């Protein structure tokens, strides 16, 4: 059974060992560019396009220098060299006083001119077809046919004075390698018949027919043996080449798949050499190494940047203790704007080829520590989710009974002490109901697709309602500032739509406004609500809603626990506000995060939500 990706070759036909299948012809041999691309990072803005350029360059190089034409040119060069050698021998004989016949000059000179012309025209020809596997009839006549005719005439005319039988090996070899097997055997048979005919003519002069015919027969048998061996060898090499090209194509597809997986990884990956030079860095790693945006594409030097000193020290420590480095360690990056980022670093090493003791490359796996801790919390809370929802449902029934009983007791409360106690019970019952509602809000379950709403109208309405509820007056010294002008650059403006439940959006925004009201300075414009459009891979872009305040900056320990459940800086806080905000955002395909701006910025504390914008066109559900 033929292997997949290979062309089945009949046993009676030989297509030369350069005759790969059509699919294999399109595969290129590895070169330096492809070798570098397997290790050096190509994570530019369009890495896939860059990688395809490398492959296109490799394919172009292979198409301009296919195996068949290279070996064909090698045979033509050998013919030309032989023709020049014969012409030199004739010229040398003439210079030493031996006068060769005129027909020797004519034959060797004509043969040299023809071989030089064919070699020059083949070198300058633009080969449009790269799937040629055997010599075309015109090429065969101009090369193999001409050689066979010239060497036969030389053998007939020179007779026994010059042993020119060995020259017939060249057209036999060329036909065996570059022509179908049947034609190659035909060329070999013609050469053997030429030898026999020449021996028969020579025997009329020397009366030694037995010896001459025996020599011619042995030489012809040797030519057949050479043709058969060369044909068999070329057949096997053809199979190996087709297999190698198929493996190369598979390896190229695997390399493209690996590059795609690395670029889409949420975990940062970098490859650093022993000189601290970053050879590879995926977008996640470049994002983690910068406080905003991405670092420049590799290669770049890891040393020399003050913010990365702790990372460099961690790598140096890992070189001293590789086993401990695989477990992982925590690293802090301190940036110039007083911002910092906590990372979890794991290091792996690749052993060099030349040395068995030194580690040549360092593979660094980087994660945001907040993401790691969030994942750990998610793993811990996953098993408790359904149990918490069940407990909340079970608590709701006796809690309603307690509230009803307390209401009956409040009706009969006569003294001030009894009224105070019943009010205390009512307040705590309300607090427990609020906690139960929060737990059930984030309980897992399948929910229908959220409606497409107008975010600008919804956000402005929620802010006005919140202002009225908090009793904040409207005027020049307004405490809250709402800005939606940055949305005008959106392609879908003014018909911007996002998929979000209106009550969920209200709950998230009100929670953020309550936090901003709790920690602001109380001056005019202390709270800033900004809605802006951001470009993204999706043509519709992203919508970012930010709520900022000018209060004291959040400490590092508090920032790491902002979105943890049951974490609160207030004594009577439930600690579920920001946690529920994050769960509701993730439920609608949005994300929420916090960032601290440098001191020159007034509103340093900023919570921002990014949500995809619904593209223009009919939507399944609009509101």
Per residue in 20-33, pLDDT (tens digit) is: 333 333 333 233 33
Query: Is residue 287 over pLDDT 60?
Result: yes
Higher pLDDT, 597 or 194: 597
Mean of pLDDT values over 449-471? 89
pLDDT value of residue 46: 40
Percent of the chain with pLDDT over 70: 78
- Residue 1's SS3 state is coil
Element (H, E) at 592: strand 591-596
pLDDT surpassing 60 at residue 15: no
Given a contact cutoff of 8 angstroms between Cβ atoms, the answer to whether 523 and 550 are in contact is: yes
pLDDT at position 180 is: 84
Smallest Cα–Cα separation from 66: which of 19, 117, 15, 34? 19
More confident residue, 55 or 550: 550
Lowest mean pLDDT among 472-481, 509-518, 524-533, 568-577: 568-577
Predicted local confidence at residue 65, as pLDDT: 44
pLDDT, tens digit (0-9, with 9 covering 90-100), for 358-399: 556 788 888 888 887 777 777 766 666 666 666 776 787 788
With beta carbons less than 8 A apart as the criterion, state whether 301 and 328 touch: no
The pLDDT confidence band at residue 123, using thresholds 50, 70 and 90, is: low
Sign of the dihedral defined by the CA atoms of residues 234, 239, 241, 242, in that order: positive
**Average pLDDT, stretch 190-195?**
83
492 falls in which pLDDT band (50, 70, 90)?
A: confident
What is the per-residue pLDDT across 542-560, written as a single tens digit (0 to 9) for each?
A: 999 999 999 888 887 788 7
CA distances from 126 to 25, 79, 117, 122, 134 (A): 17, 22, 16, 9, 18
Question: How confident is the model at residue 195, as a pLDDT?
Answer: 81
Give tens-digit pLDDT for 151-176.
888 777 776 656 677 788 888 888 88
Say whether pLDDT at 50 is over 60.
no
So what's the pLDDT on residue 126?
47
Give me Rg for the CA atoms of the chain. 42
Report helix, strand or coil for 553: coil
Distances (CA, A) of 476 to 119, 464, 482, 517, 547: 90, 15, 13, 18, 20
Q: Which residues, listed in sequence order, are joined to residue 591 by a DSSP beta bridge? A: 610
Both tokens of 116, joined, read: 């030089």
Of residues 599 and 357, which shows the higher confidence score? 599
Using pLDDT thresholds of 50, 70 and 90, give the confidence band for residue 462: very high
Is 214 strand, coil or helix? helix
Residue with tokens 């770049």: 300
With bands split at pLDDT 50, 70 and 90, how would you rate the model's confidence at 53?
very low
Average pLDDT over residues 48-69: 47
Please give the residue that has the higher pLDDT: either 263 or 24: 263
Average pLDDT over residues 49-60: 41
Three-point CA angle 616, 617, 622, nearest 5°? 95
Q: What is the mean pLDDT of residues 113-135?
A: 71
pLDDT of 12 strictly over 60:
no
Q: What is the pLDDT of residue 509?
A: 92
Q: What is the pLDDT of residue 611?
A: 92
Tokens of 352: 């060099």
**pLDDT, position 548:** 93
- Whole-number mean pLDDT of the chain? 76
293-331: b (≥16 Cβ within 10 Å) or e: ebbebbebebeeeebbebbbebbeebeeeeeebeeeeeb
The pLDDT > 90 percentage for the chain reads 7
What pLDDT sits at residue 63? 43
Three-class SS state of 83: helix
* Whether pLDDT at 181 is above 70: yes
Instruction: Specify the range with the lowest mean pLDDT, choosing from 329-333, 373-377, 495-499.
Output: 373-377
CB-side neighbour CA atoms (13 Å) of 593: 11
Residue-level pLDDT at 28: 32
Give the model's confidence band at 461: pLDDT under 50 very low, under 70 low, under 90 confident, else very high.
Answer: very high
Q: Which helix (H) or strand (E) holds 334?
A: strand 329-334
The predicted pLDDT at position 528 comes to 92
CB 253 within 8 A of CB 18: no
Q: Judge whether residue 529 has pLDDT over 90.
A: yes
pLDDT at position 463 is: 92
Looking at per-residue pLDDT, the higher value among 370 and 14 belongs to 370
Q: Could you tell me which residue, 11 or 140, shows the higher pLDDT?
A: 140
């Amino acid at each position: 059974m033929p292997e997949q990706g290979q062309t089945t070759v009949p046993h009676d036909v030989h297509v030369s060992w350069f005759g790969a299948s059509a699919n294999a012809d399109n595969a290129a041999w590895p070169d330096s560019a492809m070798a570098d691309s397997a290790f050096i990072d190509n994570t530019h803005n369009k890495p896939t396009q860059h990688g395809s350029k490398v492959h296109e360059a490799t394919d172009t190089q292979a198409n301009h220098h296919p195996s068949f034409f290279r070996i064909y040119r090698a045979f033509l060069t050998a013919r030309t060299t032989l023709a020049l050698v014969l012409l030199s021998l004739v010229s040398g004989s003439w210079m030493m006083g031996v006068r060769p016949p005129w027909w020797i000059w004519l034959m060797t000179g004509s043969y040299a001119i023809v071989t030089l012309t064919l070699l020059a025209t083949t070198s300058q020809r633009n080969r449009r077809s790269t799937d040629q596997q055997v010599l075309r009839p015109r090429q065969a006549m101009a090369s193999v046919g001409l050689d066979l005719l010239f060497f036969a005439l030389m053998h007939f005319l020179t007779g026994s004075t010059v042993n020119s039988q060995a020259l017939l090996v060249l057209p036999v070899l060329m036909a065996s390698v570059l022509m179908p097997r049947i034609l190659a055997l035909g060329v070999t048979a013609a050469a053997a018949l030429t030898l026999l005919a020449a021996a028969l003519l020579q025997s009329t002069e020397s009366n030694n027919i037995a010896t001459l015919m025996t020599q011619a027969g042995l030489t012809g048998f040797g030519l057949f043996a050479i043709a058969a061996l060369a044909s068999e060898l070329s057949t096997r090499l053809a199979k190996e080449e087709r297999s190698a090209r198929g493996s190369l194509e598979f390896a190229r597809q695997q390399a493209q798949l690996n590059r795609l997986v690395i670029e889409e990884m949420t975990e940062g990956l970098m490859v650093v050499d022993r000189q601290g030079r970053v050879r590879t860095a995926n977008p996640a790693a470049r994002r983690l190494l910068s406080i905003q945006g991405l670092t420049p594409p590799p290669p770049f030097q890891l040393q020399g940047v003050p913010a990365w000193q702790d990372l460099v020290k961690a790598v140096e420590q890992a070189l001293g203790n590789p086993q401990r480095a695989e477990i992982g360690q925590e690293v802090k990056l301190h940036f110039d704007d007083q911002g910092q980022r906590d990372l979890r670093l794991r290091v792996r090493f690749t052993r060099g080829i030349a040395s068995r003791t030194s580690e040549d490359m360092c593979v660094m796996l980087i994660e945001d520590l907040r993401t790691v801790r969030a994942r750990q919390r998610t793993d811990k809370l996953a098993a408790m989710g359904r149990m918490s929802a069940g407990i909340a449902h079970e608590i709701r029934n006796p809690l309603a009974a307690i509230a009803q009983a307390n209401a009956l007791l409040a009706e009969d409360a006569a003294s001030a002490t009894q009224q105070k106690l019943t009010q205390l019970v009512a307040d705590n019952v309300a607090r427990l109901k609020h906690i139960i509602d929060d737990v059930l809000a984030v309980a897992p379950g399948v929910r229908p697709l959220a409606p497409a709403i107008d975010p600008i109208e919804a956000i402005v309405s929620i802010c006005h309602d919140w202002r009225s509820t908090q009793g904040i007056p409207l005027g020049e010294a307004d405490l809250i500032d709402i800005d939606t002008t940055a949305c005008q650059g959106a392609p879908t403006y003014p018909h911007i739509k996002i998929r979000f439940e209106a009550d969920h959006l209200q709950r998230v925004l009100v929670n953020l406004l309550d936090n901003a009201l709790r920690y602001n300075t109380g001056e005019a414009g202390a709270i800033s609500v900004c809605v802006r459009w951001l470009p993204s891979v999706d043509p519709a872009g992203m919508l970012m809603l930010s709520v900022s305040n000018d209060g004291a900056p959040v400490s590092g320990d508090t920032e790491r626990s902002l979105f943890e459940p049951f974490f609160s800086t207030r004594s009577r806080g439930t600690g579920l506000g920001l946690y529920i905000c994050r769960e509701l955002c993730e439920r609608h395909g949005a994300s929420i995060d916090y960032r601290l701006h440098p001191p020159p910025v007034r509103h340093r504390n900023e919570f921002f939500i990014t949500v995809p914008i619904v593209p223009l066109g009919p939507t399944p559900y609009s509101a």
